[in-house]
């Protein structure tokens, strides 16, 4: 039953390859705005159930305006022989006062404690001081990034020679972690795509088109995955940052199996017969393999940790897209590739005869 359905799908793609490819291109372009909406979250409370006592207590305090996040701006002097040597130097005090006022004006900052107005925020050597800014960041990664970046930008203005600044505190750590997750997501995705292309290029004996076609499937799977996450409001977290590379590694198998079988049968058969044989031979096995893989990742939804829920759900969606493209798009790409190559060969032959 499944084999007959797959063969019918293949027949449709053989007859209308251009329309199907254009449809998927259009839908993929519609996914790109969703990719921009994906938010990175690294707050510890997002990795635990909201009903747990510690997280519930923190959220209640925040709701009452009592629970606040603090960002510490460390100011150090004596870093240059000819520069400022003391916190209580007039130039340093003026810088601290202006910086405190500028931080206080940032949207989201509720209170600022200046070392010029509060004891205990300057060390005994009179060379280090701390400006403490209180704010409610909650679990919003974008707000956390905005406030952190604005404070960091304010520290650069009119800084006296010999003064250095450093931002610390839990929000600062979370912001750095968020940047690292976003960077690693992009880097690992590009490296995965590059390595997959080189390996498939070797497997198919240097055939550029044969190596590129499976890559199209997994690349679109990643685009659709992040687009879906953005539209559904599924955030990216520390564990989920690696899903793209995993989807590429798992999803490439489907298209490689179909492509290899198609190439084998195409030697002695028409395009339609080769597609039918390729999808018919491998389709049921690929479908069964993907279902078992998705089921394994869906088991993560039974756990208590929201982080595990997101990982299992995202992986299931990504593998599902890889399966979808392998059956509904890849055969159309095969047909178009043969048509394009035929026209190129005919053009070359015509030029040669001329």
Please write the tens of the pLDDT for every residue from 286-296. 888 889 999 99
Compute the mean pLDDT over every residue in the chain, rounded to the nearest whole number.
80
Mean pLDDT confidence for 9-28: 86
What pLDDT digit, counting tens, does each position of 205-235 carry? 777 877 888 888 889 999 999 999 999 988 8
Percentage of residues in the chain having pLDDT higher than 90: 11
CATH topology of domain 53-168: Alpha-Beta Plaits (3.30.70)
Mean pLDDT confidence for 37-41: 80
Per-residue confidence (pLDDT) for residue 48, from 0 to 100: 56
What pLDDT digit, counting tens, does each position of 116-134 carry? 877 778 887 888 888 888 8
Of residues 4 and 286, more confidence is placed in 286
pTM, two decimal places: 0.74
Say yes or no: domain 2-36+180-353 is CATH 3.20.20.140.
Answer: no
Of residues 77 and 345, more confidence is placed in 77
Mean pLDDT confidence for 247-254: 88
38, 236 Cβ separation under 8 angstroms: yes
Per-residue confidence (pLDDT) for residue 226, from 0 to 100: 92
Mean pLDDT confidence for 303-307: 76
Per-residue confidence (pLDDT) for residue 47, from 0 to 100: 59
Where along the chain do its domains lie?
Answer: 2-36+180-353, 53-168
């Amino acid at each position: 039953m499944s084999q007959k359905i797959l063969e019918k799908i293949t027949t449709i793609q053989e007859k209308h390859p251009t329309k199907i490819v254009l449809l998927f291109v259009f839908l993929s372009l519609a996914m790109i705005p969703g990719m921009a909406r994906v938010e990175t979250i690294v707050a510890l409370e997002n990795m635990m159930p909201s009903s747990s006592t510690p997280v519930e207590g923190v959220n209640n305090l925040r709701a009452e305006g009592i629970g606040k996040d603090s960002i510490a701006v460390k100011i150090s002097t004596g870093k240059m022989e000819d520069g400022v040597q003391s916190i209580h130097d007039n130039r340093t005090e003026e810088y601290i006062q202006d910086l405190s006022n500028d931080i206080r004006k940032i949207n989201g900052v509720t209170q600022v404690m200046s070392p010029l107005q509060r004891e205990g925020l300057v060390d005994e050597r009179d060379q280090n001081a701390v400006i403490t800014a209180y704010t409610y960041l909650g679990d919003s990664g974008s707000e956390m990034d905005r406030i952190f970046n604005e404070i960091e930008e304010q520290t650069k203005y009119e800084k006296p020679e010999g003064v250095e600044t450093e931002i610390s505190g839990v929000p600062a750590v979370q912001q750095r972690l968020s940047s690292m997750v976003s960077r690693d997501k992009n880097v690992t995705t590009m490296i995965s795509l590059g390595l997959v292309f080189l390996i498939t290029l070797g497997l198919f004996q240097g055939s550029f088109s044969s190596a590129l076609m499976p890559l199209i499937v997994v690349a679109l799977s990643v685009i659709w995955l992040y687009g879906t996450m953005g539209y559904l409001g599924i955030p990216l977290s520390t564990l989920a940052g690696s899903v793209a590379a995993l989807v590429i590694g798992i999803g490439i198998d489907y298209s490689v199996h179909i492509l290899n079988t198609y190439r084998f049968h195409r030697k002695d058969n028409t395009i339609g017969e080769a597609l039918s044989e390729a999808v018919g031979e491998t389709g049921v096995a690929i479908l069964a393999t993907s279902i078992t893989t998705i089921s394994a990742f869906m088991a993560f939804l039974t756990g208590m940790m929201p982080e595990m829920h997101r990982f299992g759900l995202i992986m299931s969606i990504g593998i599902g897209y890889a399966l979808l493209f392998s059956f509904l798009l890849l055969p159309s790409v095969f047909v178009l590739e043969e048509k394009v190559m035929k026209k190129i060969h005919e053009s070359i032959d015509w030029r040669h005869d001329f």
